[in-house]
Chain A
Amino acid sequence: MPSVRIPTPLRKLTADKDEVSISAANVNELIESLESQFPGIKNRLCDESGNLRRFINLYVNNEDIRFLDGKETALKEEDVVSIIPAIAGGRA
């Protein structure tokens, strides 16, 4: 199953897990599966129309999905998906 790296600000929703494995054939399915396991996470990643939020970057392996097939980007068993806020955090 593809694995998903969860950034710190979203770990409240994943019971502090920094990596989870999700069965999904593409990024769309992956977001829906994440939502069913961790309710509320989709709203943090996507806006009301379901589009990926502008300041969230999703990488499949090391490529931004916006330069692949967007949310239709296909996923393979060994793929690593990283969720990366565009503006790095640092609350002090």
Chain B
Amino acid sequence: MSFVKGLKCKECGEEYPKEPLHVCETCFGPLEAAYNYDEIKKVLTRDAIEKRDRNIWRYRELLPIDADPAVGRSVGYTPLIKADNLARTLGVKEIYVKNDGVCYPTLSFKDRVVSVALSKAKEFGFETAACASTGNLANAVAALSIEGGLESFIFIPYNLEQAKIIGTTVYGANLVGVKGAYDDVNRLCSEVAGKYGWGFVNINLRPYYSEGSKSLAFEMMEQLGWQAPKHVVVPMASGSLLTKVWKAIKEFELLGIIPENGTKIYGAQATGCSPITTALKNNWEIFKPVKPDTIAKSLAIGTPADGFYAMSVMKESGGWGEDASDAEIVAGIKLLAETEGIFTETAGGVTMAVTKKLIEHGALPKDETIVICITGNGLKTQEAIADSVARPYIIEAQLDEFEELYSKIKNQEEKGGTQDALSSHTNPA
């Protein structure tokens, strides 16, 4: 049975049937899936969830599909890591990392949203899946279209990281590099979507697609032992994920699955593309569109579609927002890698760096539970840090060469730590 009543405008409340629609015809506001929570409450309990397979569909009553899931049947349930080394380094009591950098199958949280969007696309009878993407979404649409038996057309800014390009074309997707930034790509895609009758996951399927993000927060709460943390830090591109983390917490509270915990939500952007945090800090009601200039390309959206709502959530929940420079982003990536053994992409570096800043500023208290949402994998954005990490020592295949090197490394460690030793050698690979 279906628990989705239909679509509803977030602005004026006008209701629409379950169709591939995303904009209100009256006020141009965004449409969102509306659920029958009374019916959901009768069936969705902790016990019911715990008996199901460990993937996003264990919360399926709160995801906007009507038929059985057709795409992404094994997606989700990524680890929530209790990050004790990181906690010590940051001087906080308890911090967890929700690591979607190991999401199946394409190593980012976009696998969640695309699974929902393409399952819905199959219900609607679309034969072609499409998207405008900064990279991770491209990978997810390309890979999951295979499972769904869909053709795919994917539009990206032409200057994306190599790994995100190869990680799209390898699946046989039609990949179109557009000369421009993401916002130009998105504008073109709106015109294409109007003309070609495809299922664009982040345009006409957006009300379904964006709901998939909630699964990250559902898992987070279940993995914390059926409770919400006091504080959650979320990266922001369009701002959609942040609003859905909030919605997921509110839904679990409403259904009585978790007790209310007064969770505060914090948003993270790159300083080179920070329309949302800039508006928040200046107390503007609106955004000044920006031309992105940051290594965090997966967050480089200059006109954030859900920016207003993301800002509302940060304010309403009592959280805050902050942004991080390119140098801080690289330092954030290295911090997470060196303390927890987690290699995240630039977006994760943004989240890590912003978390550190918020703690230093006192916006995040040191004695309450913090969860940071790491949404992508570092192997995809290696270019961004290639010049900032050590290169291997090169030696001949002779034991004495190694022994000489080893004593040099040990000497350096005693003098100034491993980092100095690693950065001091002169034999780059």
Q: Are B204 and A92 in contact (CB under 8 A)?
A: yes
Across the two chains, which residue of chain B brings its CB closest to A53?
B27
How many chain A residues touch the partner (CB < 8 A)?
A: 19
Asked if residues B28 and A85 are in contact (CB atoms below 8 Å), the reply is yes
- Cβ contact within 8 Å between B194 and A87: no
Evaluate contact between B25 and A9: CB separation under 8 angstroms: yes
Q: Does B387 contact A (CB under 8 A)?
A: no
Asked if A88 meets B190 with Cβ closer than 8 Å, knowing A9-B28, A55-B30, A67-B288, the reply is yes
Interface of A is mostly: loop
Is B28 in contact with A55, judged by CB distance below 8 angstroms? yes
Query: Which residue of A86, A88, A89 has the most chain B CB atoms within 10 A of its CB atom?
Result: A88
> In the complex the two chains form, is B286's CB within 8 Å of A66's CB?
yes
Determine if B308 is an interface residue (Cβ-Cβ < 8 Å): yes
**Minimum CB distance partner of B197 in chain A:** A92
A-B contact count (CB 8 A): 70
Interface size class of B (residues with CB under 8 A): 20 to 34
One of B15-23, B212-220, B321-329, B397-405 at the interface: B15-23
Say whether A89 contacts B29, CB under 8 Å: no
Whether A85 touches B20, Cβ cut-off 8 Å, given contacts A53-B28, A55-B29, is: no
| With known contacts A44-B26, A54-B308, A55-B30, A88–B187 Cβ distance under 8 A | yes
Whether A20 sits at the interface, judged by CB under 8 Å, is: no
For B305, list chain A residues within 8 Å (CB): 86-87
Contact of B23 among A54, A66, A87 (CB under 8 A): A87
Give the distance to chain B from A28, nearest Cβ to Cβ, in Å.
18
Interface 1/0 per residue, B84-120 and A, CB below 8 Å: 0000000000000000000000000000000000000
Q: A9-B25, A54-B29, A55-B29 are in contact. Are A88 and B186 (CB under 8 A)?
A: yes
Chain A hits for B289, CB < 8 A: 64
Q: A53-B11, A54-B11 given as contacts; is B27 within 8 A of A90 (CB)?
A: no
Complex Cα–Cα for A48 and B178 (A): 40
Any A CB within 8 A of the CB of B396: no
Q: Taking beta carbons and an 8 Å cutoff, which residues of B are in contact with A? A: 11, 20-30, 186-187, 189-194, 196-200, 203-204, 286, 288-289, 303, 305, 308
Chain A residues with a Cβ under 8 A of chain B: 9, 43-44, 47, 53-56, 64, 66-67, 85-92
